[in-house]
Chains A and B, each alone.
Chain A
């Protein structure tokens, strides 16, 4: 999914798994007409002014005598043409809004399908089940979810262990394991076992409803750049109003023979109608693409801020690598055997349900390193991995009694174990720890020869080393291999060429970190990071005036997420993290932060490109209309470089001006295409395409339309 999303953003195509919804044409047409109501159009000053001119020329067309001096009765047919084109210009603008809105409604209804009302099994104080509708659940309620049930609402697992299908939300078909304190998202389906969960939100506050309301909200707040563009457009409208009013005034005073309809045509051509018509659609399409990527933006500001990112903090695990490192080798040290290491690792990992832990058990089984102390493992006291000590350990107090562990491994393996360890020795107390090499090293009085060199060797080959102690002696090292996420190297490369500094954060050894970093092309990394390191790093980066983006999911990440300019939290993360972040990813795919950055950039570029294009267009329109505008000044024909006759020139310019709006709707919806390059070369490319292109295109376009008009109407124009 993530590579698809990536491609989607970079090429402007929507993610393929999201079938392009069929847009309701009739509804769009109807709505676009309704939107032409001046009272509704007033929020878009440029188009509102165009509509006023439409009414004005409309009146001229009906009765030219109402406007003495500046109109003539013989031009009545021409006024009709002008009025019609002005009307169509306004309609094109409302049409682009309607299409954008229709698209987003389609997205919303797709999401709504997921959010359907379901029956929930609510537990009361005595654990009695009552069936209620998911709509009636409140925050703090306890619910029972059984195999096959849809998760009614966002909640947190209290008891049980089960597999969940989140594919409706994420499109990811692999089942996800959920254990106590994990987060369940409403709309996913429980595929095995049963869970007791605590409802964490009220129905109207679920992430899905937040996403839907973000999509549907008509009161979508403008981003700072959108506001600034609106101001610029208003300013340009005022300037052109002053100019046109002055021309009209002077024309009357100096008898220049200007026709009001021609002047209005010039006015409308000069107004930034292209960007004025498309600005709302660009904003809506941005939100739409975010929602297709299942990202909730708490404000439009954060999407734009993402485009400004200078420093990108990436967690190694989950973002750059899959994180489920697999044990591949037990390396004995200090006179111990591989078997001893394997058996110790086995014991210390039995209660470790992380992918690493399971891979260690698997490897030990495959090598036949099953320890005799296995019998007492059921009563062992285990200390889970802690981010502070960066170790986990198990203490076997009474290793003589054998209990077959419940559940777990297959029956054959269990039989083998039973045969081997039926009568163990008694009374051995044993403490086994495993963990990060430096933590392990610090926990024992002396370190065996070869420990450091082995750790360095493992780290420098990009793998992870894990030390194992028995009692207070290091017996060996486990080698774990990590796997890079597909396509991550290319993504990081594209981030780098755009001038964004990727920064990798990991709890790993410096050597391991350096290795992974160099493999994916990251120059800066922080290794042996503790949870609070992220916050420090964010602050340090911001000191230099950088805009920092990061991802996070744990409560520990919350301060850093809040401090970062762009914080993307995983939906499966803790509540604190999600509250602190300004973006939440429902798919919980950390690598998506890169896509968010690209989307932010693309939105900014699209707005800038259409604005520049719109302003550049005006040059040609001046050259088309001004030479023929002053009827009494025939000498101006010398600068009529397009060589169009008055009526043809005015109509051609107006038609070009109107037609460019629908022509650019796809650009507004999909965004300008861009390949990751340096900021300056992206800028130059856009400046040439939309700036210089914006100057040249209308000359060609108006001339071509003029030619067509002459061919169609002959001399009647």
Chain B
């Protein structure tokens, strides 16, 4: 028995981490400057643009919002964008920029897709390259990939303001949202897109290209505005690719180099947000604790996935080899991006177990903005449970944890198993699982369980793919994605709003800015998540592993 990881492989992981952490550290400083309104050289350029947007939208970005206000504005905007995407997808055949003359999407597929993209999930029940017009790709998919990522960043910033208690409130949603777009996501993805184009990813609006192959046959080259979409799908931890096969498709991920670049892109902003947290709460060590904890959990996932030799089955992307594919899969679930560079069905069950862990924890380090939010949810619960043992009322960042905080954090936490387990069982009861070919054994169970876990965690990778384009799965996963996205956001913003005005004590209780706490936190997260999902992991990947079936065969 040999393991998948050779020394160069391990070193390449370390190198990627080092590059990401270094870049994220720099980016974290930049994010801090933008969200705290520090004057900068770029203001001359951005300020007029943003003023124009604010005036156009008729909003006052300086108004301090209550947590309820903040959330209402956020959800209304997201619902509006989701509705827009739904309309575009439903009527794309009547709309311009459809050189391939793709028909309208069915109502349930349009609904699922709109909910999926707007919730930063990008679960794809559609075949991107073979069913969406350029307009749909850009307006319904790419535009929402920007706004959902900006929503995630805004949520993080608002929550950080509240937790820190140093900003007199949680801020203004439009201020955060617009700045996230103009100063973070658009410039970064522009740069990333140029790099990707340079590395060979297509970017064109000229329609598919028909070429004669060497054998004399003909082939359609499905090119389009791919590079710009890939850059934001990875940067914004969206994961919805241009093609159904996602980053396993050569035009989306043509070389090992693009493979590494795309991994770095998906890790970049979630990691930078952790540094932003440390800066915003005024104690970078607090941020470092989250960084260490989330990367430790990420490392645990990697260790699980590399325990044994992988069975490479059909569908495995052989261009990059098993190591790259496993590393990508664990990373894409750890950051809840959901882009894939190899078919999940080809992996050893333990890789799938690791993927599950990423999506069940959601904070390893998790999706853009919300990953750190989930970490704060775990911190509130952990500080409360174990903090009492220090003989003081538990405090985080000097604020006492109140019964209300505990209640809300528990609601956020328990919403996750609820929206995963109920529809999973329902899928079997209603015969929907059988209809998509999922059997009653561990393999079939993994497919269904994974589908809803991925939806609830706003990850977007899945086993079923376009085969889940049924009314049941489109509607159920659609609901799960929105609940999985917005229940925790609502709850955590509420905690933050409540915490922002709370009296800060000198921090004399359990210290949360050292490695001891990081260890306690990792322990506590593992226990909470394992306690909640252990029986289901046993029924899925663990059973599959014990039975020695490479899943998907």
Q: Name A's B-contacting residues (CB within 8 A).
A: 224-225, 227-228, 231-232, 234-236, 238-239, 242-243, 246-247, 249-250, 253-256, 270, 304-305, 307-308, 310, 498-499, 544-547, 601-602, 604-605, 607-609, 611-612, 615-616, 618-619, 622, 626-627, 629-630, 633, 635-636, 638-639, 674, 679-680, 682-684, 686-687, 690-691
Contact = CB atoms under 8 A, between A and B. Distances in A.
A249 B401 CA distance: 36
B381, B392, B510: most-surrounded residue (chain A CB, <10 A): B392
Dominant secondary structure at the B interface: helix
Contact of B445 (A227, A242, A254, A307): A254
B14 interface: no
B1 interface: no
B389, B504, B535: most-surrounded residue (chain A CB, <10 A): B389
Given A231-B410, A545-B506, A612-B389, A239 B417 contact: yes
Nearest to A498: B391
Contact of B391 (A256, A619, A674, A691): A674
A636 B428 contact: no
A234 B536 CA distance: 22
A250 B422 CA distance: 10
A235 B414 contact: yes
A612 B421 contact: no
Interface stretch (B180-188, B327-335, B538-546): B538-546
A545 B503 contact: yes
A242 B429 contact: no
Contacts of B386: 608, 612, 683, 687, 691
Given A250-B424, A250-B425, A684-B516, A604 B535 contact: no
B546 A638 contact: yes
B390 interface: yes
A679 B391 contact: yes
Contacts of A228: 384, 401-403, 405-407
B550 interface: no
A690 to B, nearest CB: 7
B387 interface: yes
B470 interface: no
Interface in B303-334: none
A565 to B, nearest CB: 10
B175 to A, nearest CB: 29
Contacts of B536: 246-247
B530 A307 contact: no
A638 B546 CA distance: 7
B428 A253 contact: yes
B376 to A, nearest CB: 17
B386, B406, B535: most-surrounded residue (chain A CB, <10 A): B535
A636 B406 contact: no
A232 B393 contact: no
Contact of B389 (A236, A249, A627, A683): A683
B531 A683 contact: no
B452 to A, nearest CB: 11
Contacts of A225: 388, 393-394
B535 A243 contact: yes
A607 B388 contact: yes
Contacts of A684: 516
B254 interface: no
B332 to A, nearest CB: 26
Contact of B506 (A235, A256, A310, A686): A310
A607 B389 CA distance: 8
Nearest to B428: A253
Contact of A615 (B422, B429, B520, B531): B531
B207 interface: no
A499 B508 contact: yes
Given A239-B532, A547-B505, A307 B393 contact: yes
B80 interface: no
Given A544-B506, A636-B546, A308 B429 contact: no
Interface of B: 381, 384-394, 398, 401-403, 405-407, 410-411, 413-414, 417-418, 421-422, 424-425, 428-429, 440, 445, 503-506, 508-511, 516, 520, 523, 527, 530-532, 534-536, 538-539, 542-543, 546-547
B546 A635 contact: yes
Nearest to A630: B539
A687 B520 CA distance: 9
A562 B520 CA distance: 38
B421 A235 contact: no
A547 B384 CA distance: 19
Contacts of B385: 232, 608, 611-612, 615
Nearest to B391: A601
B392 A601 contact: yes
Contacts of A242: 414, 417-418, 421-422
Given A246-B424, A608-B387, A224 B506 contact: no
A498 B401 CA distance: 21
Nearest to A230: B403
Contacts of A674: 391
15 contacts: A235-B406, A239-B532, A242-B418, A307-B391, A545-B398, A545-B503, A546-B506, A547-B505, A608-B387, A608-B389, A629-B535, A635-B546, A679-B390, A680-B516, A686-B390
A602 B389 CA distance: 9
Contacts of A305: 393
B391 A639 contact: no
A107 B149 CA distance: 62
Given A307-B393, A308-B392, A499-B508, 16 more contacts: A225-B393, A239-B532, A246-B417, A246-B424, A250-B425, A250-B539, A253-B425, A254-B539, A310-B506, A545-B503, A604-B388, A611-B385, A619-B530, A633-B543, A691-B386, A691-B523
Nearest to A222: B403
B530 to A, nearest CB: 7
B388 A639 contact: no
A683 B440 contact: no
B539 A256 contact: yes
Contacts of B384: 228, 232
Given A231-B403, A250-B539, A243 B421 contact: yes
A139 B486 CA distance: 60
A619 B531 CA distance: 7
Nearest to A607: B388
A224 B400 CA distance: 10
A630 B546 CA distance: 14
A633 B385 CA distance: 35
Contact of B425 (A232, A249, A611): A249
B403 A635 contact: no
A255 B505 contact: no
A604 B391 contact: yes
A547 B395 CA distance: 13
